[in-house]
Copies of this chain bind each other. A is one copy, B any other.
Amino acid sequence: MDAAQEAQNREAFRHAVVNTLERRLFYIPSFKIYRGVAGLYDYGPPGCAVKSNVLAFWRQHFVLEESMLEVDCPCVTPEVVLKASGHVDKFTDLMVKDEKTGTCYRADHLLKDYCKDKLEKDPNLSADKAAELRHVLAVLDDLSSEELGAKIKGYGIMAPDTKNSLSDPYPFNLMFHTSIGPSGVSPGYMRPETAQGIFVNFKDLYYYNGNKLPFAAAQIGQAFRNEISPRQGLLRVREFTLAEIEHFVDPDDKSHPKFSEVSTLEFLMFPREDQVSGRAARRIPIGESVAAGIVNNETLGYFIGRVYLFLTQLGIDKDRLRFRQHLANEMAHYAADCWDAEIECSYGWIECVGIADRSAYDLRAHTDKSGVPLVAHEKFAEPREVEKLIITPVKKELGLAFKGNQKMVVEALEAMGEKEAMELKATLEAKGEAEFRVCTLDKDVTIKTNMVSISKEKKKEHQRVFTPSVIEPSFGIGRIIYCLYEHSFYTRPSRDGDEQLNVFGFLPIVAPIKCTVFPLVQNQQYEEVAKRIARSLTAVGITYKIDITGTSIGKRYARTDELGVPLAITVDSTTSVTIRERDSKQQIRVNVDEVASVVKEFTDSVSTWGDVLWRYPTHSS
């Protein structure tokens, strides 16, 4: 199959999935009667149930299993917090404007579209030009505002809707801006992530945890990004649910006590080197990845393993899930290592979970801005002797030498790290003087032996004070759900073979409705049995849909398959009923009184369908 055909098949598949999702109200474009708003979607009844199931499983799998401290912070966030985190200054995309109409576009999108379009559709494209465009696509994310602007001008790219010329690119902050309180002097934003709410609470959470590391805090909540021009349907939206974990750990000890529980798991890993050298992702046991130093540390590896289990237990196809390491240019300068769980769907490989070792960056940033030390303490069992660097500038001599610049030189000397100081000491001892860089003066000065004394002294310390590192798995719940839809969807011919029927093959844990109940024919006796069963299902907390319309059984099955309902209960007698499993279409006969418990053990995943099938007589219709 060639690339064009494959792309077409993917489009057709996506069309079928999205069409079913929208028709059955898994989601609804928000404010549809007012022609909607790009990038905003509602979860309709089945979508809302799927989301609630995914979140409940997330809580069970992560929060409960690891005794995480769950918190719930507001979306409205004062500016100071997002100044400290860097979002006010750096959370931007580059934008260009149609110079006549003012319509806004993402600069990189326009360039990307241009290159792809040329490559796919221009038969006269020279080999050189094609290579150039491919290169542009490869480095697209690294281009500066000026470079992007030059390419757009250079290729003569115009506004797609009007063919008007475009402005130079400029940064647009992606946060929704608002104002807190009536005075108009307290700017605020709708949070772009939930993580900051955890960081600013570090001190209290550390105390709550008995002043012990490691521990993790978690938060599920809404986050907001005012996208310039949202594309890719449900994958790029302006408001979404994040589930984030911040695991705080001693930077000197990133081992994990439960790592052995995941170390033999084997799945697709896509390390940085393999990407750069053009190799494909390959299956590596996570234990091996950590041992080989491909993954930076055990705790990061542990979470990669847990994320793999989470996603596959929800029903994500393990062959279409890979963990891709960030390239050097993708990763924030402070990050120690970063991996994305990417899921393949009709849009390509989509980042659904980011798992990053963000080192001490976030806690340090808030410590600096707030003045409140967000640090941990390690009390030593007995005092320890430590070597301390002592730098004593001789102010008199420095004053004589540098006059008005004395203060800057003193500060620069005091700010030296251990390595730099010991090198300076060695040079002074060897040569009597040394060139020394003073950044605040933007020049080198000459330091002589009598101007500073540098030594190491032994001191007794009772504790160590340090900023913890944070390892952050961050889940885009909406993206995971969308990929789950694609991975669960299939079609099969109807009984007459005259049409293709849609099925969502959801696992019971995800299914929005666990079973349907319908009387085979419309009569009062059967309806009463159906209602009795419905009550018993409610009592054990199982969601069901009751259908007492006179529609044919075949049609009713087709309807419930399209909603991904695992079991259908047909009331065809007053004492026992038929239970049909969605994927196998096998049927068993079960006494009315046992129905709720059979459904519950299957949908709670206590029994498989195989287990149940074995215990009850099968039914052939």
A518, chain B: closest CB distance, angstroms: 13
Q: Is A294 at the interface (CB under 8 A from chain B)? A: no
The answer to whether A208 touches B178 (Cβ under 8 A) is no
Across-interface contacts of A80 in B (CB, < 8 A): 31, 34
Q: Is A33 at the interface (CB under 8 A from chain B)? A: yes
The answer to whether B208 touches A45 (Cβ under 8 A) is yes
Across-interface contacts of A366 in B (CB, < 8 A): 33
Partner of A178 from B177, B205, B374 at Cβ < 8 Å: B177
User: Which of A151-159, A220-228, A243-251, A386-394 touches B?
Assistant: A220-228
Q: Is A610 at the interface (CB under 8 A from chain B)? A: no
Partner of A203 from B33, B49, B69, B176 at Cβ < 8 Å: B33
User: Which of A35-43, A326-334, A447-455, A458-466 touches B?
Assistant: A35-43
Q: Is A428 at the interface (CB under 8 A from chain B)? A: no
Across-interface contacts of A399 in B (CB, < 8 A): none
The answer to whether B182 touches A549 (Cβ under 8 A) is no
Across-interface contacts of A197 in B (CB, < 8 A): 30, 42
The answer to whether A226 touches B38 (Cβ under 8 A) is no
* A64 to B539 Cα, complex, angstroms: 10
The answer to whether A183 touches B103 (Cβ under 8 A) is yes
Name the residue of chain B whose CB is nearest to the CB of A37: B78
The answer to whether B180 touches A239 (Cβ under 8 A) is no
Q: What 1/0 flags go to A171-187 for Cβ under 8 Å of B? A: 01000111111110010
User: In chain A, residues 464-480, which have Cβ atoms closer than 8 Å to a Cβ of chain B?
Assistant: none
Across-interface contacts of A77 in B (CB, < 8 A): 31
With contact pairs A103-B183, A226-B182 given, residues A200 and B45 touching in the complex (Cβ less than 8 Å)? no
Most chain B beta-carbon contacts within 10 A, residue among A74, A176, A201, A370: A74
A600, chain B: closest CB distance, angstroms: 13
The answer to whether B208 touches A44 (Cβ under 8 A) is yes
The answer to whether B75 touches A75 (Cβ under 8 A) is yes
Q: Is A71 at the interface (CB under 8 A from chain B)? A: yes
Q: Is A543 at the interface (CB under 8 A from chain B)? A: yes
Q: Is A104 at the interface (CB under 8 A from chain B)? A: yes
* A204 to B30 Cα, complex, angstroms: 12
User: In chain A, residues 176-234, which have Cβ atoms closer than 8 Å to a Cβ of chain B?
Assistant: 176-183, 186, 188, 190, 197, 200-201, 203-205, 208, 210, 217, 222, 224, 226-229
User: In chain A, residues 371-421, which have Cβ atoms closer than 8 Å to a Cβ of chain B?
Assistant: 372, 374
Q: Is A137 at the interface (CB under 8 A from chain B)? A: no
Q: Is A591 at the interface (CB under 8 A from chain B)? A: no
Count identical subunits in the complex: 2
The answer to whether B42 touches A70 (Cβ under 8 A) is no
Q: What 1/0 flags go to A71-83 for Cβ under 8 Å of B? A: 1111111101100
Partner of A73 from B30, B228, B370 at Cβ < 8 Å: B30
* A369 to B35 Cα, complex, angstroms: 12
Q: Is A613 at the interface (CB under 8 A from chain B)? A: no
Q: Is A541 at the interface (CB under 8 A from chain B)? A: yes
The answer to whether A71 touches B95 (Cβ under 8 A) is no
The answer to whether A69 touches B45 (Cβ under 8 A) is yes
Q: Is A28 at the interface (CB under 8 A from chain B)? A: yes
Name the residue of chain B whose CB is nearest to the CB of A102: B183
Partner of A104 from B33, B182, B546 at Cβ < 8 Å: B182
The answer to whether B76 touches A48 (Cβ under 8 A) is no
Name the residue of chain B whose CB is nearest to the CB of A51: B72
Across-interface contacts of A431 in B (CB, < 8 A): none
Across-interface contacts of A74 in B (CB, < 8 A): 30, 40-42, 238-239
Most chain B beta-carbon contacts within 10 A, residue among A59, A75, A77, A104: A75
* A541 to B605 Cα, complex, angstroms: 14
Across-interface contacts of A67 in B (CB, < 8 A): 545-546
* A49 to B70 Cα, complex, angstroms: 8
The answer to whether B178 touches A538 (Cβ under 8 A) is no
* A372 to B35 Cα, complex, angstroms: 11
Q: Is A163 at the interface (CB under 8 A from chain B)? A: no
A372, chain B: closest CB distance, angstroms: 4
Q: Is A505 at the interface (CB under 8 A from chain B)? A: no
User: In chain A, residues 534-567, which have Cβ atoms closer than 8 Å to a Cβ of chain B?
Assistant: 538, 541, 543, 545-546, 549
* A28 to B197 Cα, complex, angstroms: 11
User: In chain A, residues 328-378, which have Cβ atoms closer than 8 Å to a Cβ of chain B?
Assistant: 366, 369-370, 372, 374
Name the residue of chain B whose CB is nearest to the CB of A547: B210
Partner of A190 from B52, B190, B229, B538 at Cβ < 8 Å: B190
The answer to whether B176 touches A42 (Cβ under 8 A) is no
Across-interface contacts of A19 in B (CB, < 8 A): none
The answer to whether A45 touches B33 (Cβ under 8 A) is no
Across-interface contacts of A545 in B (CB, < 8 A): 67
With contact pairs A33-B366, A204-B25 given, residues A182 and B228 touching in the complex (Cβ less than 8 Å)? yes
Most chain B beta-carbon contacts within 10 A, residue among A33, A42, A180: A33
Across-interface contacts of A71 in B (CB, < 8 A): 28, 42-45, 48
* A208 to B30 Cα, complex, angstroms: 16
Across-interface contacts of A32 in B (CB, < 8 A): 200-201, 204
Q: Is A47 at the interface (CB under 8 A from chain B)? A: yes
Q: Is A60 at the interface (CB under 8 A from chain B)? A: yes
A-B contact pairs, 29 of them (CB 8 A): A25-B205, A28-B204, A30-B73, A31-B77, A32-B201, A32-B204, A33-B366, A33-B370, A33-B372, A34-B370, A38-B181, A43-B71, A45-B71, A49-B70, A75-B222, A75-B224, A76-B224, A95-B182, A102-B183, A104-B183, A172-B182, A176-B178, A176-B180, A177-B178, A177-B179, A180-B226, A181-B229, A182-B228, A210-B549
Supplied contacts A47-B72, A180-B238, A182-B228, 4 more A-B pairs, CB within 8 Å: A43-B72, A67-B545, A102-B183, A104-B181
> Which 3 pairs from chain A and chain B are nearest by CB?
A43-B72, A33-B370, A33-B372
